[in-house]
Amino acid sequence: GFDGSGTNGGFDGSGTNSGFDGSGTNSGFDGSGTNSGFDGSGTNSGGFDGSGTNSGFDGSGTNSGGFDGSGTNSGFDGSGTNSGFDDSGFDGSGTNSGFDGSGTNSGFDGSGTNSGFDGSGTNSGFDGSGTVGV
């Protein structure tokens, strides 16, 4: 149930998919197993980190702040591929992000190729200067 055996662990559930785990490096709460709830095992992680694949919260990513989901397909993301929010509140550069300022095939874009809403991209849906723009 509770285990303090991990390195720097206050709470530790070192098994895969554990609830609380302190076994990770520099973790506060850590669920170092794959798909863990809270994880601090990532490099430079802060309070919450979900450095595992498909994690909820992650602080391990480059340029991450309060929330970062640098893991693949994470919920909140600062840099990951296919993220919902990327690099800011709304994304300015992530690939296939929900809102984007420059990413390829983004939903809301100012310059990306084949973007949904674009001001300059090629073949954009709404364009002010791009080729084949509306």
Mean pLDDT for back-to-back runs of 10 residues, the chain (134 residues): 47 46 43 44 41 43 41 44 41 45 45 47 46 42
pLDDT number for residue 56:
43
d(Cα 76, Cα 111) in Å, to the nearest integer?
23
pLDDT number for residue 55:
43
Q: How far is CA 91 from CA 14, 40, 80, 104, 133, in A?
A: 34, 24, 11, 12, 22
By three-state DSSP, how is residue 58 classified?
A: strand
pLDDT number for residue 9:
46
d(Cα 70, Cα 11) in Å, to the nearest integer?
24
Q: Is the pTM of this model over 0.85?
A: no
pLDDT number for residue 5:
53
